[in-house]
Amino acid sequence: MTHADTFRRYLQLYAARDLDAIADLFADQIRLRDWKISVAGKAAALAETRHNFERVDSLQIEVLSLFEAADGVAGELRILIDGRDELHVLDVLRFDADGKIAEIHAYVGRGD
């Protein structure tokens, strides 16, 4: 499985709010950072992800563009929250030697 495939799988699981399956993709020492928070470690990253899931009823994620490097992926995303709130995000993921997600950095953007 390529890093791009893992990224797409992560997004599918995120939209489905499948925390158990997401946990299988995360490295133990994962770092998660966005425009509001920064956490380190699998338990903290999963707790933050769970918190995000609890705040919404539905998520739809569309990949607008995708770039893959030897140890990472960057994807421009359009996220529809609860069928009405639109968010544009750039996710940058880095992977460890085992193909697990070691870092997720998310940057909020604009739709234009």
pLDDT band at 112; cut points 50, 70, 90: confident
Distances (CA, A) of 58 to 22, 45, 55: 17, 20, 9
Q: Is the pTM of this model over 0.85?
A: yes
pLDDT at site 1:
86
Distance between CA atoms of residues 61 and 81, nearest Å: 9
Helix ranges, 17-107 (H): 19-25, 42-54
pLDDT of residue 94 exceeding 90: yes
Give pLDDT tens digits for 33-81: 999 999 999 999 999 999 999 999 999 999 999 999 999 999 999 999 9
Give pLDDT tens digits for 8-25: 999 999 999 999 999 999
pLDDT at site 102:
98
pLDDT of residue 111 exceeding 90: no
Instruction: Please give the class, per CATH, of domain 3-108.
Output: alpha beta
